[in-house]
Amino acid sequence: MDRVVRIMGVVVESASNHIVVDDGTGIIRVIPSGEVPVPEVGKIVRVFGSVSQNGKGSIYINAEIVQDMSSLDLELYSKVKKVKKPGLT
C-alpha cells in the first residue's frame, strides 16, 4: 500500500506508541517513528507518512513527521484553503 500522505487534524487519542487523528472526514491511527514525540489529546497536528495495512486489514499511517500546529490560526487557514487555486503553491 505504501502511499505517502499528509493530513492535518486533532489528536483524539494518545498512547505511548500511537495517536489517533480526526481530520474532520474520519479518524486514523498514526504510529510515529521512534524519534517523533507523541503529542497529547487536543493538539492540532500535521502528519507526513506512508499508509500501511496490518494483518487484520486496518489502515494506519507510519509517520515520519508529526508537527504541532496548535498555534495555527484555523479561521485564516480555512479562508486561504478556499481561495487557493489548484496548481499554485
CA distance 15 to 87: 38
Residue that is written with C-alpha cell 500500500 in the block:
1
Which distant-in-sequence residues (6+ apart) come within 8 Å of 10 by Cβ?
Answer: 21, 22, 42, 43, 44, 45
Delineate the domains of the chain, giving CATH numbers in brackets.
Answer: 3-83 (2.40.50.140)
Which distant-in-sequence residues (6+ apart) come within 8 Å of 42 by Cβ?
Answer: 10, 11
Sorting pLDDT into bands at 50, 70 and 90, what band is 89? Answer: low
- Phi/psi for 72 (5° steps) reads -70, 135
Per-residue pLDDT tens for 24-82? 899 999 999 888 888 999 999 999 999 999 899 899 999 999 999 998 887 887 788 77
**pTM (two decimals):** 0.81
The predicted pLDDT at position 5 comes to: 94
Sorting pLDDT into bands at 50, 70 and 90, what band is 87? Answer: low
